[in-house]
A and B are shown apart, each in its own frame.
Chain A
Amino acid sequence: MNIVEEVLEITLRSLVVSGTATLLASAWSLPLAYILAKPGRLRSLMASILEALVGIPTVLLGLALYMLFSRSGILGFLHLLYTVRAIVVGQAILITPLIAVTACRVLKSARESFEEMALALGADDLQAMAIALREALPGITSSVVMGFSRAVGELGIALMLGGNIRGTTRVLTTAIALSVSMGEYELALYLGGILVAISVLVSLTVRLLKGVQGL
């Protein structure tokens, strides 16, 4: 496999791993965000805790998950360590607070304005919820995109849970770290450029889709 093919393979793996992690995190973060967007002291406390976890160091989370997934760990029987599935789970957990908190803010605002407007206009509870969700969609999409960007750019989890195994678990960030440690700065910069381009392209595509759909 030449260097171009290897870079392509690593890029594709990064996209699939972080894309899957984003989908997985969205599946539980968005319903959680909807629940937290309702008024209540306990919900507000939970939202504050999640907010504090948005900036959790990836190395710390990677270490915690490493201990869970290692052979002697509680979840060692799952044999996840040094597989892409472990990276997916780790990244999904990492971006959960980010997606939940940002989507919660959007939904809270949509509930306070659009849901109440719909109720004031004669909607039943389900109709009002549907209207609020529809109006919140651009903001929710942005929070998911932010989650993906955070996942694809993190290093600690991919390194500790994936092990940076060539042809198996190597992703863009771990490949950059390896290139730097080997003194191959040119390759590291090239891979870094790809990483930035992915985030920019995803963001632009979503913006374009929003424009097409009149969002």
Chain B
Amino acid sequence: MIIELRGVWFAYPGSRRHVLRGVHMRVEGGRVVMIEGPNGAGKTTLLKVLALLYRPVKGVVLVDGDDYWSLDPRTQLSLRRRVVYVHERPILLRGSVLENVALGLKLRGVPGAISGALETLRAMGLEYLAERKWRELSAGEAQLVSIARAVAVQPELLLLDEPMAHLDEDRRELLVEILRELKSRGVGIVVASHWPQDELLRIGIDRVVRVVGGEVRAL
């Protein structure tokens, strides 16, 4: 899967300030891109445009060569389901970890969503969290659970917003292993972080781009 932004401008509804200004960028399966830049530079907005959640006010978003926002809603949904975005602040539903991890599979109508979710938790070494309630998790555990929820749906492109933010050293190590494994399976990974981190470099970053004032510069 290839997502390409061509001259993308974005402003939030009701605002005249452009958060993204003429962005050109390309992300694809099996490659890891790191987006860095200071707070408020537009990293999160860029990720959400890449995740096909935000419609640009100007410019084109091409998915495998097709102009995504001119496609019919059904095709848009099937393409959007191949990309998953994970928020910086973990957003978990009320319920158990297992129910949370099964959510994406349930939304796709996958039979055996719960067993699929359990399998993902097991593969990520998080099986011990399965029956825990959302409010019983630490910030780091919640972050890993939200990443597990994304991994469970086997996306072709995984977009992570500050994934290391709440993790301690051991859990960072675990996440690096998970991301390396995903990359080796051909999953494209885009990580936004406001400072470069050694752990992220060990995933095997193919490209680093810097966002400053809504503009993207290749490094």
Interface residues of chain A, those whose CB is within 8 Å of chain B, are 39-41, 44, 113-114, 116-124, 127, 131, 134-135, 214-215
* A210→B153 CA distance, assembly (Å): 31
A39: contacting residue among B13, B84, B153, CB under 8 A: B13
What distance in Å separates the Cβ of A143 from its nearest Cβ neighbour in chain B?
A: 18
**Which residues 79-130 in B have Cβ within 8 Å of A in the complex?**
80-81, 84-87, 91, 93-95, 103-104, 107-108
Residues on B with C-beta less than 8 A from A120 are 48, 51, 53, 84-87
Residues on A with C-beta less than 8 A from B53 are 116, 119-120
Tell me if A121 and B107 are in contact (CB < 8 A): yes
What are 11 of the A-B contact pairs (CB < 8 Å)?
A41-B14, A113-B87, A114-B93, A116-B87, A117-B87, A120-B53, A121-B84, A121-B107, A122-B84, A122-B108, A135-B93
Tell me if B153 and A114 are in contact (CB < 8 A): no
Residue B194 CB within 8 A of the other chain? no
Q: Which residue of B lies closest to A138 (CB)?
A: B94
Q: How large is the interface on B (under 10, 10 to 19, 20 to 34, 35 or more residues)?
A: 20 to 34
Residues on A with C-beta less than 8 A from B104 are 121-122
B81: contacting residue among A41, A122, A135, A215, CB under 8 A: A122
User: What is the number of contacts between chain A and chain B, taking CB atoms within 8 Å?
Assistant: 53
Residues on A with C-beta less than 8 A from B51 are 120
Tell me if B107 and A123 are in contact (CB < 8 A): yes
* A40→B12 CA distance, assembly (Å): 10
What distance in Å separates the Cβ of A186 from its nearest Cβ neighbour in chain B?
A: 46
Residues on A with C-beta less than 8 A from B153 are 121-122
Residues on B with C-beta less than 8 A from A40 are 13-14
Tell me if A135 and B84 are in contact (CB < 8 A): no
* A117→B133 CA distance, assembly (Å): 18
Q: Which residue of A lies closest to B108 (CB)?
A: A122
Tell me if B108 and A114 are in contact (CB < 8 A): no
Residue B149 CB within 8 A of the other chain? yes
Residues on B with C-beta less than 8 A from A135 are 93-94
**Which residues 179-210 in B have Cβ within 8 Å of A in the complex?**
none
